[in-house]
């Protein structure tokens, strides 16, 4: 549901300090405004925190017009009116679609447990759909959304952002081509200092606004943070866990909540390898990142940046002569730069370090390109279901205290 990597933060600054000022330079070719080849008229469903993030990114697309938006909360509608100049606000999706039947696409940014109805309604109205991650809060809703997407004949993209990220696409090509050889282990973390609580003046609005802290509907840190990272590592390796264990507690925000603010999980795969995942709302150290360790190297990913650390006995390839390198204590990483060959030929390699836009931007860009340029969707409803199903299993392991086995049937769309 959330864009957890939307702007440079303390983590980015720390990495820049560790690797040199070059990490502050934005790549010109990635910063250029995109050309979609056709105009699109879109509607936004939900203008809360994630809806506002989407509003900020839409302004970067010259060929995309936000025509209308909707939200059941009057205060959020009023706030959106100040941000979305020229677009019209509605209390419901049905009212919005009735007033604007010519919309090309809908962007779904409601709370996770409310994804199903707008997805099904939008597909029934023959609209292309971008649905924020995780896909839903239950496997039943995930399967209902997936079934609707399969028969609608429209573009449906789940908002797992790693698959659209230019740095991650490059890093994956290295992993898939054998640059780090056999993957031995994986780890990931998502650290932020954020209570997840929104002040509200009455109990009804408090429950609606703070759904992430409602044990009846939330997938907790596993769904709202971990699912993005689980999907990245499944995409890189092509494998899914067969067993998950999790533990955690309320360690940072003792304010009466019932949902853990600090979680550790272990995901085990059929070949015996494991993913260790940690998340907290009480500390920002090293932010959000993933690590894949192989017999010939390690890939470190940090959403806007990525590095390849080669083992001393790994074979050397010609392109490495021109690679940009950064030092991390005793380890030297080759900076993963999108379109590095082109930039190197122009003597601008260091300008390609880091991404100028948040992950959400690239998710929206690939969605729009799938509509206007007939490109494959980077994350289908089926893949969205699989990542969400694993997050559901992690959350279940956490809340029950019992390890959860995962079968192929658990990850199936039917």
Cite the DSSP H helix spans in 34-138. Answer: 49-58, 74-83, 93-99, 116-124
The three-state secondary structure class of 81 is: helix
What is the pLDDT, as a whole number, of residue 352? 63
What is the pLDDT, as a whole number, of residue 17? 30
Nearest to 334 by CA among 346, 326, 342, 343: 326
The three-state secondary structure class of 246 is: strand
138, 380 in Cβ contact below 8 A?
Answer: no
What is the pLDDT, as a whole number, of residue 10? 31
Nearest to 231 by CA among 172, 309, 179: 172
390, 398 in Cβ contact below 8 A?
Answer: no
What is the pLDDT, as a whole number, of residue 27? 45
Integer Cα distance of 31 and 355 in angstroms: 8
Integer Cα distance of 307 and 299 in angstroms: 6
What is the pLDDT, as a whole number, of residue 91? 97
pTM: 0.90
Burial class, 60, CB count within 10 angstroms (exposed 0-12 / middle 13-18 / buried 19+): middle
CATH 3.40.50.720 domain range(s) in the chain:
28-162+374-379
Integer Cα distance of 300 and 308 in angstroms: 6
CATH code of the domain made up of 165-356+388-409: 3.30.360.10
With the CA atoms of 97, 99, 102 and 103 taken in that order, what torsion angle do they form, in degrees rounded to the nearest 10? Answer: -50
What is the pLDDT, as a whole number, of residue 353? 81
What is the pLDDT, as a whole number, of residue 324? 85
CATH 3.30.360.10 domain range(s) in the chain:
165-356+388-409
Nearest to 359 by CA among 197, 132, 147: 132
Integer Cα distance of 349 and 342 in angstroms: 8
Residue the block writes with tokens 């893949």? 383
Per-residue pLDDT of the chain (414 residues; tens, 9 = 90+): 454 444 333 333 223 333 332 333 334 545 567 789 899 999 999 999 999 999 999 999 999 999 999 999 999 999 999 999 899 999 999 999 999 999 999 999 999 999 999 999 999 999 999 999 999 999 999 999 999 999 999 999 999 999 999 999 999 999 999 999 999 999 999 999 999 999 998 999 999 999 999 999 999 999 999 999 999 999 999 999 999 999 999 999 999 999 999 999 999 999 999 999 999 999 999 999 999 999 999 999 999 999 999 999 999 877 777 788 889 989 999 999 876 655 555 455 566 688 999 999 999 999 999 999 999 999 999 999 999 999 999 999 999 999 999 999 999 998
190, 391 in Cβ contact below 8 A?
Answer: no
Cite the DSSP H helix spans in 109-226. Answer: 116-124, 139-152, 166-176, 203-209, 220-221
CA angle 44, 7, 72 (to 5 degrees): 25
CATH fit for domain 28-162+374-379, picks 3.30.70.1400, 2.40.110.10, 3.30.70.2190, 3.40.50.720: 3.40.50.720
Integer Cα distance of 138 and 178 in angstroms: 36
Integer Cα distance of 368 and 39 in angstroms: 10
What is the pLDDT, as a whole number, of residue 354? 84
What is the pLDDT, as a whole number, of residue 23? 33
């Amino acid at each position: 549901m959330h864009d957890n990597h939307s702007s440079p933060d303390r983590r980015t600054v720390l990495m820049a300090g560790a690797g040199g000022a070059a990490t502050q330079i934005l790549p010109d070719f990635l910063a250029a405004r995109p050309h979609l080849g056709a105009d699109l008229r879109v509607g936004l469903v939900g203008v809360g925190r994630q809806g506002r993030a989407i509003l900020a990114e839409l302004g970067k697309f010259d060929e995309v017009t936000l025509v209308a938006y909707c939200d059941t909360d009057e205060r959020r509608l009023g706030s959106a009116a100040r941000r979305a100049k020229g677009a019209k606000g509605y209390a419901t999706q049905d009212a919005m679609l009735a007033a604007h039947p010519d919309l090309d696409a809908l962007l779904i940014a409601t709370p996770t447990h409310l994804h199903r109805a707008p997805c099904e309604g939008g597909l029934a109205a023959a609209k292309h759909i971008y649905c924020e991650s995780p896909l839903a809060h239950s496997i039943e809703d995930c399967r209902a959304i997936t079934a609707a997407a399969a028969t609608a004949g429209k573009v449906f993209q789940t908002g797992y952002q790693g698959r659209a990220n230019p740095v991650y696409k490059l890093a994956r090509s290295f992993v898939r081509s054998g640059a780090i050889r056999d993957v031995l282990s994986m780890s990931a973390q998502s650290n932020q200092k954020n209570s997840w609580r929104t002040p509200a003046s009455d109990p009804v609005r408090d429950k609606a606004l703070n759904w992430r802290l409602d044990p009846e509907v939330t997938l907790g840190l596993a769904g709202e943070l971990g699912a993005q990272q689980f999907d990245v590592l499944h995409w890189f390796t092509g494998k899914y866990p067969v067993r998950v264990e999790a533990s955690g507690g309320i360690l940072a925000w003792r304010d009466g909540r019932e949902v853990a603010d600090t979680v550790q999980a272990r995901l085990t795969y059929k070949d015996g390898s494991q993913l260790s995942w940690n998340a907290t709302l009480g500390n920002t150290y090293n932010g959000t990142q993933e690590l894949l360790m192989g017999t010939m190297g390690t890939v470190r990913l940090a959403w806007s940046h990525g590095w390849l650390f080669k083992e001393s006995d790994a074979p050397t390839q010609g392109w490495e002569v021109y690679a940009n390198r950064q030092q991390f204590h005793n380890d030297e990483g080759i900076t993963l730069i999108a379109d590095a060959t082109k930039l190197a030929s122009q003597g601008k390699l260091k300008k390609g370090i880091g991404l100028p836009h948040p992950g959400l931007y690239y998710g929206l860009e690939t969605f729009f390109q799938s509509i206007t340029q007939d490109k494959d969707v980077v994350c289908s409803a089926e893949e969205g279901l699989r990542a969400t199903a694993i997050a559901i299993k992690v959350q279940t392991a956490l809340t029950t205290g019992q390890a959860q086995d995962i079968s192929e049937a658990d990850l199936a769309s039917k």
